[in-house]
Chain A
Amino acid sequence: MSATDRFERVPSLPRSTRDRQSLVLTLLAGSIALTMLTPMLWVVLEASQVPSDQILEILLRQETLDIFLNTVFLVTAVTIGSVLVGVPLAMLTVQTDLPFRRFWTVVAAMPLVIPSYIGAFAFISATGQGGAFTDVLAPIGIERIPEIDGLVGSAITLTLFTYPYVYLTTRASLLSLDGRAIEAARSLNHSRLSAFRRVTLPQLVPGIAAGALLVALYTLSDFGTPALMQYDVFTRMIYVEYDAWRLDYASIFSLLLVGMAIVILAAESRIERTDEGEAYVNRGTDRPGTISLGRWKGPALAFCSTVALLALIVPPAILLYWLGRSTGGIGGSYEFQWIYAWNSVYVSSLAAGVSVLAALPLAYLSARGESRWASLPERSSYVGYAVPGVVLGLGLLYFTLHYVDSLYYTVDILVFAYVVRFMPQAVGTLRSSVLQTDRKLVEAARTLGHSSLSAFRKVVLPLVMPGVIAGAALVFLTSMKEMAATLLLRYPGFETLATYIWLVRSSADYGDAALPALVLIGVSGLSMLVLLWRGYDVQE
């Protein structure tokens, strides 16, 4: 403050000014959170218009029970499969003398790059009659590879492309383990195995469970994979019923699906709460000593290679095979056009921008708010995780059709759908960025004569910028891959990479889908770079 400034004292602010500032922030965050909830409201409204006796009839039908059981089977199978693949990979890459450990560390996380429906598409196009494998293997006498579809096909595909969630969370837990605790256990006369069981494992369980729940949630809401594999789970059937314009069925199924998602989310939030506080304490601790694999080195390498081969080599190879054999499309409106790629980039960029703008107040309030309710808007924005794309699409379709005609079949509503669905990712990265900036820095800026707004602009914003960019990138990349809501909400003639793959899924020439699929793999490969850059510690 200059000398003149010292004489021109600013009049005392009433105490309520500070309250008013936080009230504005709370209202802003609250209204954003409420907006996020609207699509769900419309599904509930639609369902409430179904007569109660019909609801009962739908619920009690054998078909509904079958769909429910199919969904449970698939979620269970994929979750177990992911733990069986993800946990050993994490242990091998963190705690053993596996050859080329750094290489496997990165490779094991890579399948996340491939959208699961593209994997499903690749496997379907390769197996069964007229599949790529049959073509390639025929000369060596293998006539027919059994078709991969249904429960087995969906479960294998989803496991191959979602196990990295378990791998990454388990790995993070392993890395945060305090090696000294294990040494302490051994100095207290526990064998290596007993120390693992009594010290390591209990600390790993939250990490494994967090990853497993992510996998369960992803599987539950995934539309593309079971749809392509023709396995009747809720997501697929909601779309089928909608297609047949049986909205009563579609809305009841939607509510059931959301109910299942909420159960999984509730379990997940309990786990997150227990280990959130410990996420930052792993500084300066000793790493547990590495375990020598000995004669298990061979089998361990074979295991890693098999997973990598199936998830990373085979699907792109199949796509490239079809691309090479492409006859130039089946002509007409189904031919691939680069405008589809541009459409994808366009709507995804808009979604990323809007998401970050909306996420910032939610994240800031949640991380810095003092009231008990401060994190409520942030928590409620997580509804996006609970609402599968197909339900979200249906809700918004109903909403625009009945209430806001002007939004029906527009890019705006599509962008809004992406924001609702994927903004939680931006909130997450932003929140942790805000938490990582020292609260004292803002106070320092205030005592140096800056208003809270100026302190935010000059201190907080530059420091959370990496989080803003990462959040935007994540929303962009996941929006690019989104299929179900895009299918429901796109206006006629507006195709994206994902919807184009859906359109040509059953065409005779798989080559049409190969190019957009490869483009999508390339694009989402960038998401891995973002994750790496954000220090999700895929390197050591």
Chain B
Amino acid sequence: MSKNELTTTTGQYVQAPPRTAPTGDVVLELAEITKQFGGETAVEEISIDVHEGELLTLLGPSGCGKTTTLRMIAGLTDPTEGTIRLDGEKVAGSSTAVAPENRDVGLVFQEFALFPHLTVGENIAFGLTDDDGADEYGRVQEMLELVDLEGYEDRNPESLSGGERQRVALARSLAPEPDVLLLDEPFSNLDVRLRIEMRQEVRRILKEAGVTAISVTHDQEEALSISDRVAIMNDGQVEQIGRPEDVFGHPESRFVASFLGQASFLSGTVVEGGVDTALGLLDNDQLDGSIDAYRGAAVDVLVRPDDLRAKPCPPGGTDGEIVHRQYTGPAFVYQVEMDSGDVVHCQHNHATDFEHGTRVCVELQAEHSLAWYPAE
């Protein structure tokens, strides 16, 4: 409830477009989980429901508590407060602590943690119990096929490339058919090129296996590209949770806005019919939610570089000056210091070339509604 009250005060989400709610049963339920180490609070009252078959990513800067959350789900750390339910059954919380081996939770480690003294096949079979006995071989073959490593069962982990190790780690965790699979920074040990390739591959494998998965990362592009839903964490708390498009397009806080990509803010005042900014009046329908109730209030409107363009202007009619230019190859991003004091970024294709110090006009070219926040 507190979340709703909060959004009412900022006004932003009172009439927000409905997000597609995740379907399927709730497999994993975190209820007000708190974890303290000594006096430090690493995770504070986190509540998340994870639905069958979905891939949820916990995204946040290092130290935000995302890995601690993952370890609590796996049972490698006990929460200080709150409960964790897996398939409806309590596995952690108030005098319950089911040992990791007795939870059907798989974990893919950042460094993969393959057993160096076992072959690929033995690694994959490690989690299979004795009653699987006769079928063990078949299951290993099935897993090798799933991760595209047929014929690798007798290889040593040392002889594998980074991508192959990750495939083995995935196969090993998937072999015992866990209820939930956890992935701790799954791509951080791969080089950039391989990382992008493996994102697609890991998503394919997880979807093909039909497993419910939670991944943890600090890479926003990775989170947005592989997940069904993203939970953005900051300072031990979940700031926002939703589909990648929704959290990127309609961030509920400045932190989420800034963490998910380059963000600039236009300061303005709420007037009748919209917000008055350095770029003129922004109509009500250009803004998220209803703003009318806040007439007279100072607000900041989120504008991303692709929402703005800089244009040559006649002298005297300019909005600001180009103070920095960043060339990324396909595009230029110009930083414009507006006469109003706002600093915004404008993205252009690589052919549009302004010199440093050029005076320009800035134009809004957004085809979506803009998020806004009470001024700080």
Contact = CB atoms under 8 A, between A and B. Distances in A.
Interface of A: 1-6, 9-10, 12-15, 17-18, 438, 440-441, 443-452, 454-455, 458-459, 462-463
Interface in B346-373: none
B127 A438 contact: no
Contacts of B74: 443, 447
B97 interface: yes
A446 B132 CA distance: 18
Contacts of A15: 78, 95-97
Contacts of A2: 129, 131-132
A445 B126 contact: yes
B131 A4 contact: yes
A447 B131 contact: no
A447 B98 contact: no
Given A5-B129, A15-B78, A448 B109 contact: no
Contact of B76 (A5, A17, A446): A446
Contacts of A446: 75-76, 99-101
Contact of A1 (B90, B99, B176): B176
A445 B76 CA distance: 11
B101 A447 contact: yes
B107 A449 contact: no
Interface stretch (B40-48, B112-120, B221-229): B112-120
Contacts, number: 103
Given A12-B96, A447-B74, A448-B127, A463 B117 contact: yes
Interface residues of B, number: 37
Interface string B136-176: 00000000000000000000000000000000000011001
A438 B106 contact: no
Contacts of B113: 438, 440-441, 443-444
Interface of B: 74-76, 78, 89-91, 95-107, 109, 111, 113, 115-117, 126-127, 129, 131-132, 172-173, 176-179
Nearest to A461: B117
Contacts of B111: 438, 440
Given A1-B129, A440-B111, A462-B117, A447 B97 contact: no
Nearest to B177: A1
Nearest to A454: B101
Given A1-B176, A5-B131, A450 B98 contact: no
13 contacts: A1-B127, A6-B177, A15-B95, A18-B99, A441-B113, A441-B115, A444-B109, A447-B127, A448-B127, A449-B127, A451-B101, A458-B126, A459-B117
Contacts of B105: 447
Given A1-B104, A441-B113, A443-B113, A13 B98 contact: yes
Contacts of A447: 74-76, 100-101, 103, 105-107, 127, 173
A449 B95 contact: no
A-B pairs, top 8 by smallest CB distance, nearest first, are: A448-B127, A446-B100, A440-B113, A447-B107, A10-B102, A444-B113, A15-B97, A12-B96
